[in-house]
Amino acid sequence: MTQQLDPIHLTQSLIRCKSVTPEEGGALVLLEALLSKAGFDCTRVDRGGVANLFARWGAKGHVRTFGFNGHTDVVPPGDVAAWTHAPFSGDLENGVLWGRGATDMKSGVAAFVAAAVDFVRTTPPDGSVVLAITGDEEGDAVDGTTALLDWMEETGEAMSACLVGEPTCPENMGDMIKIGRRGSMTGWFRVTGVQGHSAYPHRAKNPLAALARLIDRLASHELDEGSEHFEASTLAVVTMDTGNPATNVIPAECTAAINIRFNDLHSGASLSRWLEEEADRAATEFGVGIELKVKISGESFLTPPGPLSDLVTRAVEAETGRTPVLSTSGGTSDARFVKDHCPVVEFGLVGKTMHQVDEHVPTAHIEQLKAIYTRILTDYFA
């Protein structure tokens, strides 16, 4: 009998790879060797200094291809002295695994790798299994999953459906499946006036007054009340700066930035036009110049409830006894790129400690996640 791949040991090995984005740290080298030995055709799809790995078991471009997507890069550990266990130790104590990436998301990658390897060894499917693993999810996300998808299109590789293994559960295993995400965009404002003495404000053009009025209007505006599958859109003011230490000087310039998380009632383009209109309005009222720069990190998207979410729901219910909520809450993920390739949903661990000091995960959750992923593969190819 073939020995099953232990996802806990694999998670430990991945944590010990210091893959702080965008460093590969040995994580993808380790996975490529393991998957190649298991019969997967592996290709490194590196781009822009970012390491990515594509692995396929089965025929290329097969009509029935189930894919998993995830990342092995992690955020920096912060103050190493504040950790109970060293951040790259992979220490295992009392049924808990510690280290940077334990939750987000080396455990998720280990679980779907272990599930895929054991599945194709024991019950070779009539179809293909694809693993698309990036080293650039926590960074700029320009040369990560997008590079993999670009390469797949160029070479005729394809997935029929995909599951992203990001942490999705708020409190307990099985709480939540993500079937979409809000869009995300950031706007930076630079307001230019005329410097002057604060005792003679009529001789200056105060950029702060214009910026304060603009930001108040933006922050006070209700973008919407939500839609069928999405929460209400939000706008957060994240910084306002002048760098002016003098109380008797009206500065010549100031800046601010806002971040918008938006639902399917908006697009990045429509919100950009609104920001431009409000900036022009404030500039005209106060006689100042206002420059706006916008970065759209991703548009909102939805995989409507249906076969894929039903498949994952059944597997989660069978292994956890919980019926997961279908949600579009939270931040962005690489699913925003995959959705242009094939239907995609997300399911993974409880995300309470991700990006925190002392990031950790119960080992029982990793085993449970592997069982869920195995059941998804079994049912998909049944």
Distance CA 45, CA 360 (A): 30
pLDDT for 3 = 84
Residue 228 is assigned to a structural domain of this protein: yes
**Length, in residues, of the chain:** 382
State the CATH number of the domain containing residue 275.
Answer: 3.30.70.360
DSSP string, 290-318: EEEEEEEEE--EE--SSHHHHHHHHHHHH
Q: What is the mean pLDDT of each run of 10 residues along the chain (382 residues)?
A: 89 98 96 98 97 96 89 97 97 97 98 98 94 95 96 96 97 97 97 97 96 98 97 97 96 98 97 98 98 96 97 98 96 93 97 96 98 98 94
Do 282 and 305 reside in the same domain of the chain?
A: no
Distance CA 30, CA 26 (A): 6
Residue 127 is assigned to a structural domain of this protein: yes
SS3 324: coil
pLDDT for 100 = 98
Do 120 and 255 reside in the same domain of the chain?
A: no
Do 82 and 199 reside in the same domain of the chain?
A: no
Residue 2 is assigned to a structural domain of this protein: no
Do 21 and 123 reside in the same domain of the chain?
A: yes
Do 72 and 170 reside in the same domain of the chain?
A: yes
pLDDT for 1 = 55
Do 201 and 56 reside in the same domain of the chain?
A: no
Cα-based angle 373, 378, 382 (whole degrees, multiple of 5): 150
Do 81 and 130 reside in the same domain of the chain?
A: yes
Cis amide bond preceding 105, omega within 30:
yes
pLDDT for 376 = 98
Number of structural domains the chain divides into:
2
Residue 157 bears catalytic tag: no
Do 267 and 327 reside in the same domain of the chain?
A: no
Cis amide bond preceding 7, omega within 30:
no
Do 190 and 267 reside in the same domain of the chain?
A: yes
Do 28 and 150 reside in the same domain of the chain?
A: yes
CA atoms lying within 13 Å on the CB side of residue 250: 20
Residue 137 bears catalytic tag: yes
Residue 310 is assigned to a structural domain of this protein: yes
Do 134 and 266 reside in the same domain of the chain?
A: no
- Spot the catalytic one: 24, 32, 73, 136: 73
Domain boundary (298, 328, 360) is at 298
State the CATH number of the domain containing residue 120.
Answer: 3.40.630.10
Residue 1 is assigned to a structural domain of this protein: no
Residue 342 is assigned to a structural domain of this protein: yes
- Full domain range(s) for residue 94: 7-181+300-380
- Spot the catalytic one: 137, 143, 299, 359: 137
pLDDT for 331 = 85
Do 236 and 135 reside in the same domain of the chain?
A: no
Domain boundary (281, 298, 315) is at 298
**Which residues, at least 6 apart from 351, have a Cβ–Cβ distance to it below 8 Å?**
103, 104, 166, 167, 168, 169, 170
Domain boundary (265, 298, 331) is at 298
